[in-house]
Structure 1
Amino acid sequence: MPSLCGAHTFPPPPTTFGAARVPDLARPTTTTRTGFLLVAAAAALWGTDGLFRFGLAEGLPGSTVVAAEHLILVVLMFPLLVRGARRARRTFSPGDVVALLLVGVGASAVATVLFTSAFAYGDPNTPLLLQQLQPVFAVLGARLLLGERLRRRFPVFFVAALAGAFLVAFPDPTEVGVAGAAPALLAASAALLWAMGTVLGRRLTAKVSFTELAALRFGVGLPAALALLPIGGGVQAATTLDGAAWLSLLLLALIPGLLGLVVYYRGLRGTPAASATLAELAFPLSSLVVNYVAFGAVLTTSQVVGVALLAGTIAVMGVAHQRRPEAAGVAVPTRSGRVETS
């Protein structure tokens, strides 16, 4: 996500599997070294999310973190919000307005509260690593929300991704308990909502630019995040935020957020989808390194297998999309112009 399309508030936006690309970017057919490195650098920046969010979630309700985060993002992107609102007023249909509301409330506010709350269980790795499920959920969302057709190979990818996610979620897969399932369910639910936001956002990026849509998303998400503040004593906690907390929130919005977004989309100009998908594997790697150095968090052997299985499945889907779109479970235009999903 994370980025503006879907991992935490800025999930790494899936570059394939039904995710929309920025409409004003030409799709490259060959990879440049600079483009590949920039995408990898952006993915590595997303991996620093836990460095800020984990510490905040340990001392604050998730609703407080998300409301403050949205406030900062709205302030930073206010000119884009105004421009996007004007364009949306001219071009959005009633269905588009509903889609924007679902993206802002569900994929921005609610999803980020769930994601942040998952860190409160003391494990900085699982919430981040389970965001690799987003591309798989996006394919299913395209099928359910847009009517795109799934082809025969997708169930194989889906089962492999779920198996990897299970191994990541439970350090000892032979001992599955309610306490261990809670953070995994919160993180997976966030990934599902972010994937929904990616799918619904596809119809909107034809009418507003990606940056304007991002600003609109946070503009709609801010009132929803404020409405969620009473959860877990968030209102009282918001009144006690000190300078250190605001600094962490600002860094969270700037580093894995806006900076990661700018670097990512600059890199996409010289990187085709399959190569970008491989470069994005820097996200789980950087997450593990950052969390180990900052918090001493390590994976069990079964979790390492789960990470490899989950990341490998997403990488194979990306490569298959580049070589043979109809085999990968991704959006494929038919002769009639209708988009299908393999």
Structure 2
Amino acid sequence: MTSGAGALHTGMSDRISDRTWLIAVAAALWGTDGLLRKPLSGQLPASTVVFWEHLIIVAVLLPWLPGALRAFRAATARERWALVGIGAGASAVATALFTAAFAVGDPITPLVLQKLQPVIAIAVAAVLLGERLRPGYWAFAVPALLGAWLMAFANPFHVRFADAEAALLAIAAAALWAIGTVLGRMVSENLSSRDITVLRFAIGLPAAGLVLLAQGAPVAVSTAQLGPLVLLALIPGLLGLALYYLGLHSTAASRATLAELAFPVTAALLGVSLLGASLSWTQWLGMAVVVASVTALGLQERSERPVVETVGTAA
């Protein structure tokens, strides 16, 4: 999953049919992730879950792999390194961190903390892509970070190590996904979204295998576990990502960012209703602050004076 991509792109032409609804559908699919990942994280090591996710998706995408490999060979050295960063970092390592967060924390916090991706991605884009942050950016970033703190801990003024560990794992995953978003934008000018998606998982598979070997985790899974792994890989994973890229192609970035709010809302509702999770009042407050901050950021980017100045934009 790469839910922060919308915050980095400029608005699409008004002549193209808007597909904001499709972004919302994709985000809602990502919100179902916890239903499958939380039970699996209690049965299997994170690296085993991630390895099988990548293996299943690569098997499905196998017909498109030769074309994607040709695109990789034709890419520049800079683009190849970016693709390796996307596959190894944003796909394999980030997903392993995200899965580990479920093993030590509740089923809602890791999902909601992913809404920090646009805030992180914009800052990374300023460094890697030369986009300039205006001072107003911090008026959205600081409340979002404070909201993330409240969301992460049931008692934000008395943090236990286990709570901090889960939050840090989730935020580290969000940061890697945000970097992957920026790298994806970097290579998207010369590579198709299909090739980027195929290469993301094809490169991520051996990286996930290395993580699995380094941790000494088992490769084998039971027949009962294989079904949930297939659903996890194909529904919130591959289908969600495919719908997201399809919708993003015809959706203004700021509207995509707003539509992505279906992700934490779905995750929270399913976590409370089906996974037995409970949140303190400060965590609900934190969720509201994160959602409000990212919403406000998306609205600001639609205005005549966005807080992020892209390359070639007048000051």
Q: How high is the TM-score relative to the length of structure 1?
A: 0.86
In structure 1, the partner of 2:5 is 14
State the Cα distance separating 1:73 from its structure 2 match: 1.0
- In the alignment, does 2:306 pair up with 1:327? yes
- Residues 274-313 of structure 1: CA distance to partner in whole angstroms, max 9, x if unpaired? 3322222111110011112221112211111111111111
- In the alignment, does 2:194 pair up with 1:194? no
Aligned residue identity for 1:51: L
> Does the 8 Å CA contact 1:15/1:276 hold for their aligned counterparts?
yes
* Percent identity of equivalent pairs: 45
In structure 2, the partner of 1:4 is none
In structure 2, the partner of 1:3 is none
* Gap runs ≥5 in structure 1: 1-9
Q: CA separation in 1, counterparts of 2:130 and 2:311?
A: 12
Q: CA separation in 1, counterparts of 2:205 and 2:24?
A: 30
- In the alignment, does 2:142 pair up with 1:159? yes
In structure 1, the partner of 2:291 is 311
State the Cα distance separating 1:81 from its structure 2 match: 2.2
- In the alignment, does 2:118 pair up with 1:139? no
> Does the 8 Å CA contact 2:2/2:241 hold for their aligned counterparts?
no
> Does the 8 Å CA contact 2:68/2:195 hold for their aligned counterparts?
yes
> Does the 8 Å CA contact 2:10/2:253 hold for their aligned counterparts?
no
Aligned with 2:33 (options 45, 49, 56): 49
Aligned residue identity for 1:117: A
Aligned with 1:100 (options 64, 70, 83): 83
Query: Which of 255-264 and 305-314 deviates more?
Result: 255-264
State the Cα distance separating 1:333 from its structure 2 match: 2.7
1:250-289 alignment, distance < 5 Å: 250-268=230-248, 271-289=251-269
- Residues 55-83 of structure 1: CA distance to partner in whole angstroms, max 9, x if unpaired? 11111110000111111111111222221
Query: Which of 254-263 and 205-214 deviates more?
Result: 254-263
In structure 2, the partner of 1:84 is 68
> Does the 8 Å CA contact 1:317/1:329 hold for their aligned counterparts?
no
Aligned with 1:297 (options 253, 256, 277): 277
Please give the root-mean-square deviation of Cα atoms over the aligned residues, in Å.
2.1
In structure 2, the partner of 1:119 is 102
In structure 1, the partner of 2:50 is 66
State the Cα distance separating 1:258 from its structure 2 match: 2.3
State the Cα distance separating 1:20 from its structure 2 match: 7.9
- In the alignment, does 2:16 pair up with 1:36? no
Q: CA separation in 2, counterparts of 1:69 and 1:121?
A: 20
Aligned residue identity for 1:224: A
> Does the 8 Å CA contact 1:118/1:186 hold for their aligned counterparts?
yes
Query: Which of 291-300 and 35-44 deviates more?
Result: 35-44
Give SS of 2:5's match.
coil
Distance of aligned partners of 1:295 and 1:190 in 2 relative to their CA distance in 1, 3 Å threshold: same
> Does the 8 Å CA contact 1:171/1:299 hold for their aligned counterparts?
yes
Q: CA separation in 2, counterparts of 1:181 and 1:29?
A: 47
Q: CA separation in 1, counterparts of 2:171 and 2:118?
A: 12
Q: CA separation in 2, counterparts of 1:321 and 1:55?
A: 38
- In the alignment, does 2:217 pair up with 1:226? no
Q: CA separation in 1, counterparts of 2:245 and 2:186?
A: 19
Give SS of 2:135's match.
coil
Q: CA separation in 2, counterparts of 1:29 and 1:210?
A: 21
Q: CA separation in 2, counterparts of 1:210 and 1:153?
A: 32
> Does the 8 Å CA contact 1:63/1:231 hold for their aligned counterparts?
no
Distance of aligned partners of 1:256 and 1:322 in 2 relative to their CA distance in 1, 3 Å threshold: same
In structure 2, the partner of 1:5 is none
Aligned with 2:155 (options 166, 169, 172): 172
Q: CA separation in 1, counterparts of 2:9 and 2:175?
A: 13
State the Cα distance separating 1:159 from its structure 2 match: 0.8
Q: CA separation in 2, counterparts of 1:82 and 1:110?
A: 24
State the Cα distance separating 1:176 from its structure 2 match: 1.3
Q: How high is the TM-score relative to the length of structure 2?
A: 0.93
Give SS of 2:132's match.
coil
Distance of aligned partners of 1:298 and 1:27 in 2 relative to their CA distance in 1, 3 Å threshold: farther
- Residues 124-182 of structure 1: CA distance to partner in whole angstroms, max 9, x if unpaired? 11110100011111011112223322211112212111101000101111211222100
Q: CA separation in 1, counterparts of 2:254 and 2:129?
A: 23
